[in-house]
Chain A
Amino acid sequence: MILDNIWLELFSRWLLGLVFIYASYQKILFPSDFAKIIYGYDLFPLALINLMAIVLPFVELCFGLALVIGIFPRSAALILNGILLAFILALSINLIRGHEFDCGCFSSLKTSFASSTGHWIVRDIILLSLGLQVFFYGGFRKACLIRNLKPYTVAAEKRQTLSVDK
């Protein structure tokens, strides 16, 4: 089956990872502008806006990097899928209730989400399908630094068994 294709997994993982790294870049450079975008969604508690603007770009960066260099790719894909689902949900809610936000100001972040909500939803659904492929892929993953924590667990269990045998 094509979804089990080793190269497709690598392609999906790298593409998703690179998209998230790219997405995090400007948010890290302009956290104030990103915070105003979060405020514009009008969905989150005001007390959490700054914390979200500080942490979310680094979650995107670290988990994106984890996918590209292959560190715990399945777990990284799980969290990025969760983030994508949250984005899709937030965008859909605002699309349905017709909520648009424009601060009317000069912003360094060019993501004028309000004017292209539909496009963002479609883009996120495509990314989510890539993320799901990476998450559910069961075969060997190419080009991974640390595929999972299991080898260490197995090694620890072996050591424990050996010490009991002695």
Chain B
Amino acid sequence: MHFKQTTSEVIILLGISVVAAFVVNYFSPVGIALTGQWNDSRGVISTRGKDEAVVPDLEIEDVTVAKQIFDKKQSLFVDARSQESYEDGHIKGAVSLPVNRFASMIKSFQKRYGRSQPIVTYCSGRTCGDSHRLAQLLFEHGFENVSVFIDGFPGWEAEGFPIE
């Protein structure tokens, strides 16, 4: 009898919770998809949420391709990580534009680089979406040619490519 009563109560409360969860998630501007992209061999992990900035088409998935772009010396590598991480080590020649300080730094960035400047953003690897967020912010501010190097600084460093 006790067990039956507890089961009924739990089912009622769980039912309300689950219905509320899916309704709110459906209408929320930060709602997420029912399944995400959690396989990092396929690219940057993502919930495929409404506020997620991950765009697979922008991704440079191969470190050697990123190195070829680097060697051409036409693209600007932009570090989306914190200033401290940047100072600890970054891709040689990269400039720091931490995504959480974007609003205060974009003006001076725009003064230094033209809209057609090819840009490659990066952060801490495939579990980090900040490079994608930075790419979207740069697009919103008029930059036309932005790619995302998804293996980020750890992937670059592991290959022994130039850092400073």
Which residues of A are interface residues toward B (Cβ below 8 A)?
28-32, 35-36, 39-40, 46-47, 49-51, 53-55, 57-59, 61-63, 66, 71-72, 74-76, 78-79, 101, 103-106, 148-150, 153
Which of chain A's residues have a CB closer than 8 A to the CB of B98?
106
Which of chain B's residues have a CB closer than 8 A to the CB of A150?
5
A63, B154: Cα distance in complex, Å: 42
With most chain B CB atoms within 10 A of its CB, the pick from A61, A78, A149 is A149
A32 with B51: in contact, given A55-B17, A149-B5 (CB under 8 Å)?
Answer: yes
Q: Using a Cβ–Cβ cut-off of 8 Å, how many residues does chain B contribute to the interface with A? A: 48
Q: Are A104 and B128 in contact (CB under 8 A)?
A: yes
1/0 per residue B18-43: CB within 8 Å of A?
Answer: 10111011001011111110110000
14 contacts between A and B (CB under 8 A): A30-B30, A31-B28, A32-B30, A35-B36, A35-B49, A50-B33, A50-B34, A54-B34, A58-B24, A59-B14, A71-B13, A78-B10, A104-B128, A105-B128
Partner of B130, one of A28, A105, A148: A105
Which residues of B are interface residues toward A (Cβ below 8 A)?
5-6, 8-10, 12-14, 16-18, 20-22, 24-25, 28, 30-36, 38-39, 45-49, 51-52, 81-82, 85, 98-100, 123-125, 127-130, 152, 154
- Looking across the interface, which residue of chain B has its beta carbon closest to that of A150? B5
